Amino acid sequence: MFESFAARSGSAGGGPDEIRGWKERLISDPYRSYLYSYPHKTAYSELEPKRSLPELWRDEPAESFFLYMHIPFCGARCGFCNLFTLPDKRADVHETYVDALHRQAVQWARFVGHKPFARFAIGGGTPTLLEPRLLERLFDIAENVMGLNPQQASISVETSPETVTAERLRILKQRQVDRVSMGIQSFVESEAAAVYRPQGPAEAERALELLKREQFPILNVDLIYGLPGQTVDSWLYSLDRALQYAPEELFIYPLYTRDHTIVKPEDVRNSGEDIRMACYGAAREKLLAEGYTQYSMRRFAKPEAVSDKTVLSYGCQEEGMVGLGCGARSYTRSVHYASRYGVSRRATASIIADYVAAERYDTADYGFVLSEAEQKRRYILKAVLHREGLDLGAYENRFGSRTLDDHPELERLQRAGLAVLERNVFRLTDEGMAYSDAIGDWFISPEVRKRMEGYVLV
Protein backbone atom coordinates (compact mmCIF):
# COMPACT_ATOMS: atom_id res chain seq x y z
CA MET A 1 0.00 0.00 0.00
CA PHE A 2 2.84 2.36 0.84
CA GLU A 3 5.99 2.97 -1.13
CA SER A 4 9.33 2.82 0.66
CA PHE A 5 10.95 6.19 1.18
CA ALA A 6 14.23 4.66 0.09
CA ALA A 7 12.63 3.56 -3.17
CA ARG A 8 11.91 7.19 -4.01
CA SER A 9 15.57 8.27 -3.95
CA GLY A 10 15.16 10.93 -6.59
CA SER A 11 12.64 12.88 -4.54
CA ALA A 12 15.24 13.96 -2.01
CA GLY A 13 17.47 15.45 -4.66
CA GLY A 14 21.26 15.14 -4.89
CA GLY A 15 23.72 12.39 -4.10
CA PRO A 16 25.34 11.36 -0.82
CA ASP A 17 27.64 14.40 -0.71
CA GLU A 18 24.71 16.78 -1.16
CA ILE A 19 22.71 15.02 1.57
CA ARG A 20 25.75 15.10 3.86
CA GLY A 21 26.15 18.83 3.30
CA TRP A 22 22.45 19.43 3.86
CA LYS A 23 22.60 17.53 7.15
CA GLU A 24 25.64 19.48 8.32
CA ARG A 25 23.83 22.74 7.65
CA LEU A 26 20.69 21.48 9.37
CA ILE A 27 22.35 20.40 12.60
CA SER A 28 24.82 23.29 12.81
CA ASP A 29 22.20 25.33 14.69
CA PRO A 30 20.26 22.73 16.70
CA TYR A 31 18.26 25.09 18.93
CA ARG A 32 16.97 27.64 16.48
CA SER A 33 13.26 27.17 17.23
CA TYR A 34 11.05 25.46 19.81
CA LEU A 35 8.05 24.36 17.73
CA TYR A 36 5.59 23.20 20.39
CA SER A 37 2.66 24.12 18.17
CA TYR A 38 2.16 24.75 14.48
CA PRO A 39 1.65 27.35 13.17
CA HIS A 40 3.60 29.28 15.80
CA LYS A 41 1.78 32.11 17.57
CA THR A 42 4.03 34.68 15.86
CA ALA A 43 2.44 33.66 12.56
CA TYR A 44 -0.96 34.87 13.76
CA SER A 45 -2.43 38.09 12.41
CA GLU A 46 -5.72 39.95 12.03
CA LEU A 47 -8.51 37.75 10.70
CA GLU A 48 -10.52 39.43 7.97
CA PRO A 49 -13.38 38.88 8.18
CA LYS A 50 -13.79 37.98 11.83
CA ARG A 51 -14.96 34.42 12.45
CA SER A 52 -18.16 33.67 14.34
CA LEU A 53 -17.20 31.18 17.03
CA PRO A 54 -20.56 29.35 17.08
CA GLU A 55 -20.17 28.72 13.34
CA LEU A 56 -16.48 27.84 13.71
CA TRP A 57 -17.10 25.17 16.35
CA ARG A 58 -20.36 23.79 14.99
CA ASP A 59 -18.68 21.44 12.51
CA GLU A 60 -15.44 20.74 14.40
CA PRO A 61 -14.83 17.01 13.74
CA ALA A 62 -12.80 16.17 16.87
CA GLU A 63 -14.61 13.57 18.96
CA SER A 64 -13.45 15.12 22.22
CA PHE A 65 -12.06 18.50 23.20
CA PHE A 66 -9.17 19.79 25.28
CA LEU A 67 -10.14 22.53 27.75
CA TYR A 68 -7.34 24.94 28.63
CA MET A 69 -7.39 27.93 31.00
CA HIS A 70 -4.61 30.49 30.91
CA ILE A 71 -3.70 32.43 34.06
CA PRO A 72 -1.30 35.14 32.86
CA PHE A 73 0.13 36.12 36.25
CA CYS A 74 3.35 35.13 37.97
CA GLY A 75 5.49 36.27 40.87
CA ALA A 76 8.39 37.37 38.66
CA ARG A 77 9.44 37.02 35.04
CA CYS A 78 12.31 34.58 34.60
CA GLY A 79 15.23 35.56 32.42
CA PHE A 80 14.43 33.04 29.66
CA CYS A 81 10.66 33.60 29.57
CA ASN A 82 8.88 34.87 26.45
CA LEU A 83 5.44 33.59 27.43
CA PHE A 84 2.31 35.68 27.77
CA THR A 85 2.56 36.42 31.48
CA LEU A 86 2.56 39.47 33.75
CA PRO A 87 4.31 39.72 37.14
CA ASP A 88 1.41 40.79 39.37
CA LYS A 89 0.57 39.34 42.79
CA ARG A 90 -2.47 41.52 43.57
CA ALA A 91 -5.48 39.44 44.60
CA ASP A 92 -8.00 42.02 43.38
CA VAL A 93 -6.44 41.96 39.91
CA HIS A 94 -6.63 38.16 39.91
CA GLU A 95 -10.28 38.20 40.96
CA THR A 96 -11.27 40.65 38.23
CA TYR A 97 -9.53 38.42 35.72
CA VAL A 98 -11.31 35.27 36.93
CA ASP A 99 -14.60 37.16 36.70
CA ALA A 100 -13.84 37.81 33.01
CA LEU A 101 -12.85 34.19 32.44
CA HIS A 102 -16.17 33.10 33.95
CA ARG A 103 -18.02 35.51 31.66
CA GLN A 104 -16.18 34.10 28.65
CA ALA A 105 -16.91 30.51 29.71
CA VAL A 106 -20.65 31.17 29.99
CA GLN A 107 -20.68 32.42 26.39
CA TRP A 108 -18.44 29.66 25.00
CA ALA A 109 -20.24 26.78 26.72
CA ARG A 110 -23.15 27.29 24.33
CA PHE A 111 -21.14 26.29 21.27
CA VAL A 112 -18.47 23.88 22.60
CA GLY A 113 -20.65 21.92 25.02
CA HIS A 114 -21.70 19.34 22.42
CA LYS A 115 -18.46 17.35 22.82
CA PRO A 116 -16.94 15.94 26.03
CA PHE A 117 -13.59 17.13 27.37
CA ALA A 118 -10.86 14.50 27.42
CA ARG A 119 -8.26 16.83 28.93
CA PHE A 120 -8.27 19.88 31.15
CA ALA A 121 -5.19 21.96 31.88
CA ILE A 122 -4.59 25.17 33.79
CA GLY A 123 -1.39 26.94 32.80
CA GLY A 124 0.23 30.31 32.78
CA GLY A 125 1.93 32.16 34.26
CA THR A 126 1.46 30.47 37.58
CA PRO A 127 -2.12 29.33 38.28
CA THR A 128 -1.29 28.52 41.91
CA LEU A 129 -0.38 32.16 42.47
CA LEU A 130 -4.14 32.64 42.84
CA GLU A 131 -5.64 32.59 46.32
CA PRO A 132 -7.20 29.20 47.16
CA ARG A 133 -10.78 30.46 46.72
CA LEU A 134 -9.96 31.70 43.20
CA LEU A 135 -8.23 28.45 42.38
CA GLU A 136 -11.43 26.67 43.44
CA ARG A 137 -13.42 28.94 41.13
CA LEU A 138 -11.45 27.76 38.10
CA PHE A 139 -12.54 24.19 38.72
CA ASP A 140 -16.11 25.32 39.36
CA ILE A 141 -16.11 27.10 36.01
CA ALA A 142 -14.73 24.02 34.28
CA GLU A 143 -17.27 21.66 35.80
CA ASN A 144 -20.40 23.75 36.35
CA VAL A 145 -20.17 26.03 33.31
CA MET A 146 -18.16 24.13 30.69
CA GLY A 147 -19.46 20.69 31.61
CA LEU A 148 -16.16 18.99 32.44
CA ASN A 149 -16.53 15.53 33.93
CA PRO A 150 -13.36 15.16 36.05
CA GLN A 151 -13.73 11.39 36.18
CA GLN A 152 -13.25 10.99 32.43
CA ALA A 153 -10.66 13.70 31.74
CA SER A 154 -6.99 13.94 32.59
CA ILE A 155 -6.37 17.15 34.54
CA SER A 156 -3.05 19.01 34.69
CA VAL A 157 -2.04 22.13 36.65
CA GLU A 158 1.17 24.13 36.50
CA THR A 159 2.75 25.43 39.68
CA SER A 160 5.94 27.02 41.00
CA PRO A 161 7.81 26.21 44.21
CA GLU A 162 6.99 29.39 46.10
CA THR A 163 3.23 28.98 45.53
CA VAL A 164 3.01 25.35 46.69
CA THR A 165 1.08 25.20 49.96
CA ALA A 166 -0.75 22.39 51.73
CA GLU A 167 -4.08 24.21 51.23
CA ARG A 168 -3.64 24.62 47.49
CA LEU A 169 -2.52 21.02 47.06
CA ARG A 170 -5.56 19.78 48.96
CA ILE A 171 -7.74 21.65 46.47
CA LEU A 172 -5.93 20.04 43.53
CA LYS A 173 -6.29 16.64 45.12
CA GLN A 174 -9.99 17.11 45.85
CA ARG A 175 -10.61 18.27 42.27
CA GLN A 176 -9.07 15.06 40.91
CA VAL A 177 -5.95 16.59 39.37
CA ASP A 178 -3.84 13.86 37.76
CA ARG A 179 -0.71 15.80 36.94
CA VAL A 180 1.10 18.65 38.67
CA SER A 181 3.95 20.25 36.74
CA MET A 182 6.56 22.38 38.48
CA GLY A 183 9.38 24.35 36.92
CA ILE A 184 12.55 24.18 38.98
CA GLN A 185 15.14 24.62 36.18
CA SER A 186 18.21 24.19 38.43
CA PHE A 187 19.13 23.07 41.94
CA VAL A 188 22.27 25.20 41.81
CA GLU A 189 21.76 28.58 43.47
CA SER A 190 24.05 30.54 41.13
CA GLU A 191 22.49 29.03 38.00
CA ALA A 192 18.95 29.83 39.14
CA ALA A 193 20.03 33.38 39.99
CA ALA A 194 21.62 33.81 36.55
CA VAL A 195 18.19 33.46 34.92
CA TYR A 196 16.35 35.42 37.63
CA ARG A 197 14.51 32.47 39.16
CA PRO A 198 12.61 33.69 42.23
CA GLN A 199 13.32 30.64 44.41
CA GLY A 200 16.42 28.73 45.49
CA PRO A 201 17.03 24.99 45.87
CA ALA A 202 15.73 24.87 49.45
CA GLU A 203 12.37 26.30 48.38
CA ALA A 204 12.18 23.85 45.48
CA GLU A 205 12.82 20.90 47.77
CA ARG A 206 10.23 22.10 50.28
CA ALA A 207 7.65 22.18 47.48
CA LEU A 208 8.68 18.75 46.23
CA GLU A 209 8.28 17.27 49.70
CA LEU A 210 4.71 18.59 49.87
CA LEU A 211 3.89 17.36 46.39
CA LYS A 212 5.16 13.85 47.04
CA ARG A 213 3.11 13.69 50.24
CA GLU A 214 -0.10 14.20 48.23
CA GLN A 215 0.79 11.36 45.83
CA PHE A 216 -0.55 12.80 42.61
CA PRO A 217 -0.54 10.18 39.82
CA ILE A 218 1.98 12.25 37.85
CA LEU A 219 4.52 14.70 39.22
CA ASN A 220 6.38 16.49 36.44
CA VAL A 221 9.58 18.47 36.99
CA ASP A 222 11.00 20.92 34.44
CA LEU A 223 14.76 21.45 34.23
CA ILE A 224 16.83 23.62 31.86
CA TYR A 225 20.30 22.89 30.49
CA GLY A 226 22.72 25.39 29.01
CA LEU A 227 22.27 27.99 31.76
CA PRO A 228 24.96 30.66 32.20
CA GLY A 229 27.77 29.24 34.32
CA GLN A 230 26.45 25.69 34.08
CA THR A 231 28.65 22.68 33.36
CA VAL A 232 27.68 19.16 32.37
CA ASP A 233 28.54 18.04 35.91
CA SER A 234 26.39 20.71 37.56
CA TRP A 235 23.54 19.88 35.16
CA LEU A 236 23.71 16.22 36.15
CA TYR A 237 23.78 17.30 39.80
CA SER A 238 20.43 19.06 39.29
CA LEU A 239 19.06 16.04 37.47
CA ASP A 240 20.16 13.75 40.31
CA ARG A 241 18.50 16.03 42.88
CA ALA A 242 15.25 15.88 40.92
CA LEU A 243 15.44 12.10 40.59
CA GLN A 244 15.65 11.76 44.38
CA TYR A 245 11.93 12.64 44.40
CA ALA A 246 11.14 9.99 41.76
CA PRO A 247 9.00 12.19 39.50
CA GLU A 248 6.90 10.19 37.10
CA GLU A 249 7.81 12.65 34.34
CA LEU A 250 10.59 15.08 33.54
CA PHE A 251 10.79 17.73 30.86
CA ILE A 252 14.35 18.80 30.04
CA TYR A 253 14.65 21.98 28.02
CA PRO A 254 17.64 23.59 26.35
CA LEU A 255 17.98 27.24 27.30
CA TYR A 256 16.28 29.40 24.67
CA THR A 257 17.00 33.09 24.52
CA ARG A 258 15.44 35.78 22.39
CA ASP A 259 16.18 39.44 21.91
CA HIS A 260 13.12 40.28 24.04
CA THR A 261 13.96 37.99 26.97
CA ILE A 262 15.88 39.28 29.99
CA VAL A 263 18.76 36.89 29.34
CA LYS A 264 19.96 37.77 25.84
CA PRO A 265 21.42 35.45 23.19
CA GLU A 266 24.82 37.12 23.60
CA ASP A 267 24.81 36.24 27.30
CA VAL A 268 24.90 32.58 26.32
CA ARG A 269 27.36 33.08 23.47
CA ASN A 270 29.72 35.02 25.73
CA SER A 271 29.63 32.38 28.45
CA GLY A 272 31.94 30.10 26.45
CA GLU A 273 31.34 26.70 24.87
CA ASP A 274 27.76 25.72 24.08
CA ILE A 275 27.28 22.64 26.25
CA ARG A 276 23.61 22.02 25.48
CA MET A 277 24.04 18.99 23.23
CA ALA A 278 26.46 17.41 25.71
CA CYS A 279 23.96 18.04 28.52
CA TYR A 280 21.15 16.51 26.50
CA GLY A 281 23.15 13.37 25.75
CA ALA A 282 24.24 12.91 29.36
CA ALA A 283 20.71 13.42 30.69
CA ARG A 284 19.17 11.08 28.13
CA GLU A 285 21.62 8.32 29.03
CA LYS A 286 20.91 8.72 32.75
CA LEU A 287 17.13 8.88 32.38
CA LEU A 288 16.97 5.80 30.17
CA ALA A 289 19.12 3.93 32.70
CA GLU A 290 16.70 5.02 35.46
CA GLY A 291 13.78 3.39 33.63
CA TYR A 292 12.30 6.44 31.88
CA THR A 293 11.03 6.27 28.32
CA GLN A 294 11.79 9.10 25.90
CA TYR A 295 8.65 10.44 24.21
CA SER A 296 10.13 13.55 22.61
CA MET A 297 13.30 15.58 22.71
CA ARG A 298 12.07 17.06 25.99
CA ARG A 299 9.72 14.58 27.64
CA PHE A 300 10.83 11.53 29.59
CA ALA A 301 8.31 9.51 31.61
CA LYS A 302 8.01 6.31 33.61
CA PRO A 303 5.70 3.67 32.10
CA GLU A 304 3.40 4.10 35.12
CA ALA A 305 3.03 7.85 34.43
CA VAL A 306 -0.66 7.63 33.61
CA SER A 307 -3.87 8.78 35.19
CA ASP A 308 -5.71 6.46 37.56
CA LYS A 309 -8.89 7.22 35.62
CA THR A 310 -10.31 5.77 32.44
CA VAL A 311 -10.10 8.92 30.35
CA LEU A 312 -11.47 9.70 26.93
CA SER A 313 -9.06 9.49 24.02
CA TYR A 314 -7.58 12.60 22.47
CA GLY A 315 -5.29 12.80 19.42
CA CYS A 316 -1.76 14.14 19.62
CA GLN A 317 -2.56 16.61 16.84
CA GLU A 318 -4.38 18.67 19.50
CA GLU A 319 -7.35 19.91 17.54
CA GLY A 320 -10.48 20.81 19.41
CA MET A 321 -8.49 22.94 21.87
CA VAL A 322 -10.83 25.28 23.76
CA GLY A 323 -8.69 28.03 25.26
CA LEU A 324 -10.26 30.23 27.93
CA GLY A 325 -8.51 33.29 29.29
CA CYS A 326 -6.31 36.00 27.89
CA GLY A 327 -3.29 34.49 26.12
CA ALA A 328 -4.93 31.09 25.59
CA ARG A 329 -4.96 29.68 22.09
CA SER A 330 -7.86 27.73 20.61
CA TYR A 331 -7.50 25.20 17.80
CA THR A 332 -10.15 24.02 15.40
CA ARG A 333 -9.13 22.00 12.38
CA SER A 334 -9.16 25.00 10.04
CA VAL A 335 -8.65 28.04 12.29
CA HIS A 336 -6.31 28.70 15.20
CA TYR A 337 -7.06 31.88 17.15
CA ALA A 338 -6.13 33.73 20.32
CA SER A 339 -5.83 37.14 21.90
CA ARG A 340 -2.92 39.32 20.82
CA TYR A 341 0.52 38.30 21.98
CA GLY A 342 3.01 40.45 23.86
CA VAL A 343 6.01 40.01 26.12
CA SER A 344 6.79 43.47 27.48
CA ARG A 345 5.02 44.43 30.70
CA ARG A 346 3.26 47.34 29.06
CA ALA A 347 1.94 45.31 26.12
CA THR A 348 0.85 42.37 28.25
CA ALA A 349 -0.93 44.59 30.77
CA SER A 350 -2.75 46.40 27.96
CA ILE A 351 -3.93 43.15 26.33
CA ILE A 352 -5.16 41.80 29.67
CA ALA A 353 -6.97 45.09 30.39
CA ASP A 354 -8.82 44.81 27.07
CA TYR A 355 -9.79 41.22 27.85
CA VAL A 356 -11.09 42.07 31.31
CA ALA A 357 -13.09 45.03 29.99
CA ALA A 358 -14.76 43.05 27.19
CA GLU A 359 -18.38 41.98 27.42
CA ARG A 360 -18.49 39.68 24.38
CA TYR A 361 -16.09 36.88 23.45
CA ASP A 362 -17.96 35.25 20.57
CA THR A 363 -15.75 36.14 17.58
CA ALA A 364 -12.21 35.30 16.54
CA ASP A 365 -10.41 38.30 15.11
CA TYR A 366 -6.75 37.26 15.50
CA GLY A 367 -5.21 33.98 14.42
CA PHE A 368 -4.31 31.78 11.46
CA VAL A 369 -6.52 30.10 8.86
CA LEU A 370 -5.03 26.72 7.94
CA SER A 371 -5.30 25.67 4.30
CA GLU A 372 -5.36 21.93 3.65
CA ALA A 373 -1.63 22.11 2.90
CA GLU A 374 -0.96 23.66 6.31
CA GLN A 375 -3.22 21.10 7.99
CA LYS A 376 -1.12 18.35 6.42
CA ARG A 377 2.11 20.00 7.50
CA ARG A 378 0.83 20.39 11.05
CA TYR A 379 -0.26 16.75 11.16
CA ILE A 380 3.18 15.58 10.06
CA LEU A 381 5.06 17.81 12.50
CA LYS A 382 2.94 16.92 15.50
CA ALA A 383 3.52 13.21 14.80
CA VAL A 384 7.13 13.10 13.66
CA LEU A 385 8.53 15.09 16.59
CA HIS A 386 7.15 12.52 19.03
CA ARG A 387 8.18 8.94 19.73
CA GLU A 388 5.02 7.48 18.18
CA GLY A 389 6.01 8.83 14.76
CA LEU A 390 3.88 9.40 11.68
CA ASP A 391 1.50 6.58 10.77
CA LEU A 392 1.35 6.78 6.98
CA GLY A 393 -1.95 4.92 6.86
CA ALA A 394 -3.59 7.34 9.28
CA TYR A 395 -2.33 10.25 7.18
CA GLU A 396 -3.74 8.76 4.00
CA ASN A 397 -7.07 7.99 5.65
CA ARG A 398 -7.39 11.55 6.84
CA PHE A 399 -6.20 13.45 3.78
CA GLY A 400 -6.71 10.99 0.92
CA SER A 401 -3.13 11.36 -0.32
CA ARG A 402 0.26 9.85 0.37
CA THR A 403 2.70 11.56 2.69
CA LEU A 404 5.65 11.39 0.32
CA ASP A 405 3.60 12.57 -2.64
CA ASP A 406 2.74 15.66 -0.60
CA HIS A 407 6.18 16.10 0.99
CA PRO A 408 8.93 14.23 -0.87
CA GLU A 409 11.52 16.30 1.00
CA LEU A 410 10.92 14.15 4.09
CA GLU A 411 13.10 11.49 2.49
CA ARG A 412 16.08 13.71 3.21
CA LEU A 413 15.66 12.90 6.90
CA GLN A 414 15.86 9.18 6.21
CA ARG A 415 18.82 9.45 3.84
CA ALA A 416 20.63 11.59 6.42
CA GLY A 417 20.09 9.00 9.16
CA LEU A 418 17.72 11.25 11.07
CA ALA A 419 14.58 9.17 10.44
CA VAL A 420 13.53 5.63 9.60
CA LEU A 421 10.48 4.01 8.05
CA GLU A 422 9.35 0.91 9.93
CA ARG A 423 6.03 -0.87 9.38
CA ASN A 424 4.57 2.16 7.63
CA VAL A 425 5.50 4.46 10.51
CA PHE A 426 7.95 7.26 9.81
CA ARG A 427 9.82 8.25 12.97
CA LEU A 428 12.97 10.03 14.01
CA THR A 429 16.07 8.07 14.97
CA ASP A 430 17.80 8.78 18.28
CA GLU A 431 20.02 11.24 16.44
CA GLY A 432 17.02 12.81 14.75
CA MET A 433 15.27 13.22 18.09
CA ALA A 434 18.27 15.15 19.42
CA TYR A 435 17.88 17.60 16.53
CA SER A 436 14.09 17.94 16.75
CA ASP A 437 14.25 21.73 16.94
CA ALA A 438 16.29 22.00 13.76
CA ILE A 439 14.03 19.52 11.96
CA GLY A 440 10.88 21.32 13.07
CA ASP A 441 12.27 24.65 11.93
CA TRP A 442 13.32 23.18 8.57
CA PHE A 443 9.81 21.88 7.90
CA ILE A 444 8.00 25.21 8.48
CA SER A 445 6.21 26.33 5.33
CA PRO A 446 7.46 29.42 3.46
CA GLU A 447 4.18 31.24 4.21
CA VAL A 448 4.38 30.62 7.95
CA ARG A 449 8.08 31.49 8.05
CA LYS A 450 7.45 34.77 6.24
CA ARG A 451 4.73 35.71 8.69
CA MET A 452 6.88 34.76 11.68
CA GLU A 453 9.82 36.78 10.40
CA GLY A 454 7.55 39.78 9.78
CA TYR A 455 6.06 39.69 13.27
CA VAL A 456 6.84 42.69 15.46
CA LEU A 457 6.84 41.71 19.12
CA VAL A 458 5.87 44.33 21.69
pLDDT tens per residue, the chain (458 residues)? 233 333 333 345 679 999 999 999 999 999 877 878 899 999 999 999 999 999 999 989 989 999 999 999 998 777 666 778 888 999 999 999 999 999 999 999 999 999 999 999 999 999 999 999 999 999 999 999 999 999 999 999 999 999 999 999 999 999 999 999 999 999 999 998 888 777 889 999 999 999 999 999 999 999 999 998 899 999 999 999 999 999 999 999 998 876 565 555 566 655 668 899 999 999 999 999 999 999 999 999 998 888 888 898 887 566 899 999 999 999 999 999 999 888 788 889 999 999 999 999 999 999 999 999 999 999 999 999 999 999 999 999 999 999 999 999 999 999 999 999 999 999 999 999 999 999 999 999 999 999 998 876 66
CA atoms within 13 A on the CB side of 74: 25
SS3 32: coil
Nearest to 390 by CA among 317, 448, 452: 317
What does the pLDDT read at residue 8? 35
Query: Is-contact 439 297, C-beta < 8 A?
Result: no
Please state the pTM of the whole predicted model.
Answer: 0.93
d(CA 414, CA 426): 9
Q: Is the peptide bond before 39 cis (omega within 30 degrees of 0)?
A: yes
What does the pLDDT read at residue 2? 31
